[in-house]
Each structure stands twice: as structure tokens, then as C-alpha cells.
């Protein structure tokens, strides 16, 4: 084994968790993906991955670049965007994705999406309505009127 191979293995062992731990973290991430709209907490996710919650947080952040809570929030906001664009109201969306307060949902949504949920909803419907009246469609309408 060359010097460079030894150094590579040393760095890998220092900075990346073992394979069996990454499998546990992958299962935990899938658990979060499947249950993001349910009421789940850190203890439940850590128990699912067979790790203590503090060790789990540290390893999850090392592997995925964010804490489990940040990841869960991002998944919830993705779900919220899908629900808002599919004719759910902001209040229905808030409770459907697991938030208990409309104010906290609005603040979190604005933090992650850059706009409030109602502004996001308005933008989505204005985009849809502008797609419905394309210039070709308008030309057909004008020709039929004449």
C-alpha cells in the first residue's frame, strides 16, 4: 500500500462514518421522507435508526449537510408547495403538513421559499392563468371573433 493510499484511508475514516452507520442514516432519511407530514420528533427518528439522538444529529449533519430538523422542515415546505399549487388553501396546507400554528407555518415558509404562502399561491395561479392564454390561443380567439 502506498503512502497516498494510507493517507486517503486515514482521511476517509476520520471524516466519514462507517458503512453500517450510513445505512442506518439512509433508513432514517427514508423514514423522514415517508412521514414528513406526520407528527414525528427527533427521538422517534433516532430510535428508528438505532442511534442515540445526539449521535444521530451529529452523524446526520455530517452526511447530509443539515440537521434532521432542517431536513424535515425542507421536506414539509416541499409538500406545502405541492399542496398550495393543487388548490389547497394556506390553512388546509398548514395543518396537512404537520404544523400546529398558521403563524409558524407562514414564517417558516417565508424563510425557506422567500415569499409568504399566500404570495406563493398568487404567483402560482397567475402563472397558470398566463399559460392558459398563450399568444397562439389569443390569436385563435381573435380570428374566431372576426
pTM of the entire predicted model: 0.71
Over the Cα atoms of the chain, what is R_g? 23
Distance CA 19, CA 11 (A): 15
What are the grid coordinates assigned to 7, written together? Answer: 493517507
Q: What is the pLDDT along the chain (146 residues), one digit of tens a residue?
A: 677 677 666 666 665 556 667 788 888 899 999 988 888 888 988 888 888 889 889 888 888 889 999 999 999 999 999 988 888 888 888 888 888 888 999 999 999 989 888 888 888 777 655 554 444 443 444 455 44
Tell me which architecture the domain covering 69-146 has in CATH: Orthogonal Bundle (1.10)
Domain ranges of the chain: 1-65, 69-146
Compute how many other C-beta atoms are within 10 angstroms of the C-beta atom of residue 117: 24
Amino acid at each position: 500500500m502506498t503512502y497516498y493510499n494510507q493517507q486517503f484511508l486515514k482521511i476517509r475514516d476520520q471524516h466519514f462514518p462507517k458503512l453500517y452507520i450510513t445505512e442506518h442514516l439512509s433508513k432514517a432519511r427514508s423514514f423522514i421522507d415517508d412521514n414528513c407530514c406526520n407528527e414525528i420528533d427527533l427521538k422517534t427518528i433516532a430510535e428508528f435508526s438505532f442511534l442515540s439522538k445526539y449521535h444521530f444529529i451529529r452523524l446526520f449533519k455530517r452526511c447530509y449537510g443539515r440537521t434532521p430538523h432542517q431536513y424535515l422542515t425542507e421536506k414539509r415546505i416541499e409538500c406545502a408547495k405541492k399542496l398550495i399549487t393543487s388548490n389547497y388553501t394556506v390553512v388546509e396546507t398548514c395543518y396537512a403538513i404537520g404544523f400546529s400554528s398558521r403563524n409558524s407555518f407562514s414564517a417558516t415558509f417565508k424563510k425557506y421559499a422567500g415569499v409568504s404562502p399566500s404570495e406563493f399561491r398568487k404567483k402560482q395561479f397567475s402563472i397558470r392563468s398566463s399559460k392558459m392564454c398563450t399568444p397562439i390561443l389569443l390569436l385563435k380567439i381573435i380570428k374566431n371573433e372576426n
